Structure 1
Amino acid sequence: MSRASVNEEEEEEEGVPVIIGGMVLDIHSTPSIPALPRTTTPGKVLYTLGGVARNVADCVSKLGTMPFIITALGHDMPGSLLLEHCKSNGLPLQGIRRGDDIQTAVVCNMFDSQGELAAAVASVEAIEKYLTPEWIQQFKSKIRSAPVLMFDANLSPIALEATCQVAAQYRIPVWFEPVSVTKSKRVASVAKNISFASPNEDELVAMANAVCGGSVFHPVKIDNNRIKYSPESLFRMLKPAISVVLDSGIRVLVVTLGSCGVLLCSRGLSGFKKVGRFRRNKSSDFSKQLYEIVNSLCTPDRLFNTSIDDKSNTLFAVHYPAISAIVVRLTGAGDCLVGGTLASICAGLDVMQSVAVGIAAAKAAVEAESNVPVKFNLASIAGDARSVYFGAKAVFCKSML
């Protein structure tokens, strides 16, 4: 073996997931009585560390895989709080751009008495302005050796495209987190380079319209308070948008449906298998235990076997049920679902197992005051993942010709 080959293997073993996007101070306000317009309402106001990329990175690190985060913070009070938390958790700081002219992103959320988001104001311009292609490309060596790269749609379109070009150059799987209906549309210019995307039903429709360049699809109304949907009916409602998004080049869709669960969709079975370029020997003890316990509890290839005709034009979909939870706050659930899935992929689990862990992490998040739980309990995560995994049901269409 040549010295060059040895170096390449060493770089690959030492690679960590790269996460790019928003690091935000969230202000959460929850009234103790129904809020009245044009006056103050008694309640509780909390400062919470947030931002999609920050939440995902925090979740990934607490599940045993230390990520490399690329973001921007100002020399201000919110920036100092966020930076100190990164330091205390041992996150690498080299990718955090700081400057006196940067105003750290802040989001003010108003919740109703059930913990649902009622309204919000976001001041996040700094992420788009300062996470430039030039800043991101300084960390090309980190991206080159990463097992997976995740970015959120807070990045500007030009930064998204530049990041995807680097990832494509080194064949790094890319995860796109849509953030919002409006920002999810930014996927159109980079869809062909995306391996995974994690929209909710509204973001999925917006993505489908963006990639086909029109207003073909309309929002799907899922009223889970009044109607009990079967996995098949959920899939039928969303299948046209799912098909268009997968046809745009995205390999795997993780469609989050709140209390209706998750749809995992891909053209061909390869999207449900292990993601390449991982090395468990560099993982933490927590990550190794996560792999060993979940892999023993959640038998690989439970739903699909080699007798199925896996053609490139076949749309496969798996529905995962949600887990009952005592809901405190919902804002971190989607980010922890992504973080739990990414941490599991990096630990060596396949995509189907990893999504089950992601749903278990999301359950832990909704039961916590903060966006990401202070600590994950391995036994609880593994037990919940097993429950979700064995509750999963295949709902796939054999031909899309």
Structure 2
Amino acid sequence: MTEREKEILDILKENPMISQQELADKLSITRSSIAVHITNLMKKGYIKGKGYILSKSSYITVIGGSNIDIQGVPNNSLVMFDSNPGKVDISLGGVGRNIADNICRLGINTKLISAVGNDLYGNQILSECKSYGIDIDDCYISNEIPTSIYVSILNDSNDMQVAISHMDILEKVNIDYISSKHQFINDSLAIVIDTNLSKDVIDYITSTYSNIPIFVDAVSTAKCIKIKDIIGRFNTIKLNKYEAEALSGLKIDTIDDLNSCAKSLLYQGVQKLFITLGKDGVFCATKEKNSKIDSVKVDIISATGAGDAFTAGLVYSYLNDFDIDYSAKFSMAASIIALSHENTINPNMSVDNIEKILKEMILC
């Protein structure tokens, strides 16, 4: 959704019976431009029928982890088994929450289903998510289990060296809890999950909501194994090279290896596959075509959160009917924005800034 379309949708929520001319006057643009935006909003499923009735399926549901990120960055080369002078930052995190945050910043209505403790960190997560516009009404809040914490240590290249995650609370997002949210999940334009969820919950979601496009972020080589036998249930899957190797059982060293991996996974039914390759770019594939998109040189401030931004870009690309190559480029540009900020979420994430990066990529 573009910024202008979001403006129009916000006005329609307040006054569904407003005329196109009144909309044009309110936004200081022509009536013909309003007509084009209205048509696009109808095509995308945000509005329908006379009086611009808002479609109940006008949001994305993200189901996954929420936590507090504690990130340490050494001043010099990281020395193992020793205390390293450096900097420690605390920010909101969790793969599911990060994806929801990025999607919301791209102008898409977003619902987050996650779990937090009724504590300082949990209240901070809920408060800040709500202030960004994320719907957190269906998050589980526990009085017994603390909010998840993710501790990561970066190396002198600002890439993650090691991390520890304490996410026991996410077990509360079980099948019974998901079932209790059926009405809201079933009305989603698309569903995004991360593999921090338990295997049985992932199986339940992908089988119950097979009528809805489902996106998955694999999270890690250890956790992505949960989806190995149900790959075909996903519309779109985002992996890194090591996760792709774990799921396909193939070693990836060359472009031919990437092609073989893609064929293996696409044969199982997944519709769109994206394998991120770090500085070497992105490999993307459908059954009809595949291609490798080269990366551009980036000054990395922090690699944490880049993959989450990429997944958010894929969701936006799907809603806007981008082809596979442009989806990869758009999502890569989103990850570049994430890489250029010390926090997990770059507050400057927006469609406009992604488009600026895309223009720079074309000029390079």
Give TM-score, length-normalised by structure 1. 0.74
Instruction: For structure 1, list consecutive stretches of 5 or more residues without a partner in the other structure.
Output: 210-216, 222-233, 269-315, 392-401
2:89 aligned with 1:46: yes
Equivalence for 1:236: 256
Equivalence for 2:279: 259
Distance 1:384 1:351 in 2: 18
SS at match of 1:263: strand
Question: Cα distance, 1:188 vs. partner?
Answer: 2.3
Equivalence for 1:176: 216
Match of 1:354 among 304, 320, 327: 327
Matches of residues 106-255 of structure 1 in structure 2 within 5 Å? 106-127=149-170, 129-168=171-210, 171-209=211-249, 217-218=250-251, 220=252, 234-255=254-275
What do residues 170-213 of structure 1 show as CA deviations (whole Å, max 9, x unaligned)?
Answer: x111111110001111112322211110001100011113xxxx
SS at match of 1:244: helix
Q: Is the 8 A contact 1:320 1:388 kept in 2?
A: no
2:61 aligned with 1:18: yes
For 1:149, the aligned partner's letter is I
For 1:44, the aligned partner's letter is K
Q: 1:343 to 1:330 in 2, by over 3 A?
A: same
Q: Is the 8 A contact 1:24 1:50 kept in 2?
A: yes
Question: Cα distance, 1:110 vs. partner?
Answer: 0.7
Q: Is the 8 A contact 2:274 2:285 kept in 1?
A: yes
Question: Cα distance, 1:381 vs. partner?
Answer: 1.4
Instruction: For structure 2, list consecutive stretches of 5 or more residues without a partner in the other structure.
Output: 1-47
Distance 2:285 2:223 in 1: 22
Q: Is the 8 A contact 2:284 2:324 kept in 1?
A: no
Q: CA RMSD in A?
A: 2.3
For 1:266, the aligned partner's letter is T
Q: Is the 8 A contact 2:304 2:339 kept in 1?
A: yes
Q: Is the 8 A contact 1:359 1:388 kept in 2?
A: no
What do residues 236-282 of structure 1 show as CA deviations (whole Å, max 9, x unaligned)?
Answer: 122222211111221110110011111111112xxxxxxxxxxxxxx
Equivalence for 2:340: 367
SS at match of 1:198: strand
Distance 1:178 1:134 in 2: 23
What do residues 293-333 of structure 1 show as CA deviations (whole Å, max 9, x unaligned)?
Answer: xxxxxxxxxxxxxxxxxxxxxxx212112122221000111
SS at match of 2:124: helix
For 1:192, the aligned partner's letter is G
Equivalence for 1:36: 79
Q: 1:73 to 1:166 in 2, by over 3 A?
A: same
Question: Cα distance, 1:122 vs. partner?
Answer: 1.3
Equivalence for 1:94: 137
Q: 1:345 to 1:390 in 2, by over 3 A?
A: farther
Q: 1:329 to 1:83 in 2, by over 3 A?
A: same
Distance 2:118 2:104 in 1: 25
For 1:370, the aligned partner's letter is N
Distance 2:287 2:55 in 1: 28
Question: Cα distance, 1:135 vs. partner?
Answer: 1.2
